[in-house]
Structure 1
């Protein structure tokens, strides 16, 4: 009888050492699989007793409760997990090979208006102002994922040449230019804050006042607090800043392939969704403001 925890631990090693998945991807897969395991073990169903129909029922439960993207990721985690088990333990059957399809729903990324970003980046006499401004500026002006910001090291920052060497998903490297104001903001933080806060040897660019490296949660909380302190009626997240980076470039006439490279997208179809955002906005603007839109056909 296969033990759930032992099997998941073995798969975690496969993800890390063989598949070379990023830390965040591994964490996401393991969260999915632990929830999956809990559902079955609570009903005394052993791992080698799981059937396709039971997986379908589980996915349907997820589909009723969670966002489409989360369910699709959980399905992928489960399929890959059972594929690994069949090969690793030389099992006869793979119950996940015949599970139902889940329709992928396309949700347009949410962005932030330029005027709101300008307000967010406006210099104020707030606590740790240089530190926070530098992080927000890099997120928006360079389009980094929050994990890329958190893990950014000093050896990846080239202030004199005004670019970042970013390690993205799957350890894929890309070069991202920095605006002169972004260079200035980062330089001020490094010289006036990081130097003072550094207590132990660390190569991370962004560290907290206590000398420890920032976390993803720290960045989310900082953005929320800053928005509140500035009196902005704005739900903000690192990913919204990344989305805004992409739409700003496309609005300015940037080539889609260039935006793909700057974002670190493996597939251009992922980048193309930003063009749909602008088409949708143009459509809404036409419907709202064009006088002919109110006239009905004879």
Structure 2
């Protein structure tokens, strides 16, 4: 009852900013999951303002809210909360409901920012493909390949339409974050898989549906369904490979694997940035991690002089 009352107060006091933020996120192409998470974080932040107008809040209010959550939140959660508040103020500025973004004055957690991403080595990624089976094997395999060998985000796979596959050019048009379009050149084998899936595509329930990947119920395959497909593949793979049991694998880890594969193959980081659809090369830089084998190889080049043992 208390939680409902608090939510009512927030919605009544900040109805216009919240409406603006909701419209802005939809216009910017945020996924349903991100929109829900960001709205929840922003609602909690607004509650902490105790009915203070959002344009009057400053850096101290943002930091105070983040500090209040420190006992139950790690670095990743803190950074997500900060990103939500930053986006909220960006939306307000865009709609002329605020003139400054106090959340930009607050730094992200370095611990989380400097953490190496989880990924599969190229040979591990190839082995995982053999665990894709079942009635919709070709469809699911193609989805897995698009994330692991083209670096697509799960939301980007979800949004693919038939018209986005340019078979003659051998490319795929991808609608990424911030409504940014990116044309990805496809490997020949992936073109073959996409062509096969297109031919075997389930007829959509609605004649107007242009989704490339369709569920057995005739609807666009949801983000959650795509995630479940990957989760099952990873679960089966890890059952046979116990050394990977502690590795937290997900759809986004396939994207990490793709980026790492390119950089290990000495592809220019500027090209990797474009293929991943990153706005800044700093984001791409997190994939320039060094693995143990590379360190061992580097150390073999060091020649320690032979000295007599005393």
User: Normalising by structure 2, what TM-score?
Assistant: 0.76
Partner residue in 2 for 1:35: 44
Structure 2 unaligned blocks of 5 or more: 1-8
Deviation at 1:246, TM superposition (A): 0.9
- The 2-side partners of 1:50 and 1:21 are apart by 24
User: What is the CA–CA distance in structure 1 between the aligned matches of 2:104 and 2:230, rounded to whole Å?
Assistant: 43
Q: Which of 162, 181, 184 is 1:176 aligned to?
A: 184
Pick from 255, 259, 265 the counterpart of residue 278 of structure 2.
265
Q: What is the aligned length?
A: 283
The answer to whether 1:56 aligns with 2:63 is yes
Distance in 2 separating the partners of 1:140 and 1:56: 37
Alignment partner of 1:47: what SS? coil
Q: What is the TM-score of this pair, normalised by structure 1?
A: 0.78
Equivalent of 2:217, from 190, 210, 215?
Answer: 210
CA offset digits 1:160-179 (Å, max 9, x no partner):
32211112112222211111
Residues 7 and 199 from structure 1, CA distance in 2 versus in 1: closer, same or farther, beyond 3 angstroms? closer
Task: State the secondary structure of the residue aligned to 2:69.
Answer: helix
State the shift of 1:128 in Å.
Answer: 1.5
Using a 3 Å threshold, how does the CA distance of structure 1 residues 70 and 8 change in structure 2: closer, same or farther?
farther
- 1:278 to 2:290 alignment: yes
Tell me: CA distance 1:258–1:250, structure 2 relative to 1, closer, same or farther (3 Å): same
Matches of 2:84 and 2:14, distance apart in 1? 15
Structure 2 residue 52 is matched with structure 1 residue 47: yes
What residue number does 2:81 align with?
A: 74
- Cα 1:183/1:14, change in 2 over 3 Å: closer
Post-superposition CA distance 1:184-209 (Å, at most 9, x none)? 222222212x1x34332211111111
1:141–1:178 contact (8 Å) kept in structure 2? no
Instruction: Give the CA RMSD over aligned residues.
Output: 3.7
- In 1, Cα distance between the equivalents of 2:195 and 2:157? 16
Q: Which of 7, 14, 20 in structure 2 is aligned with 1:11?
A: 20
Alpha-carbon distance in 1 for matches of 2:142, 2:292 = 32
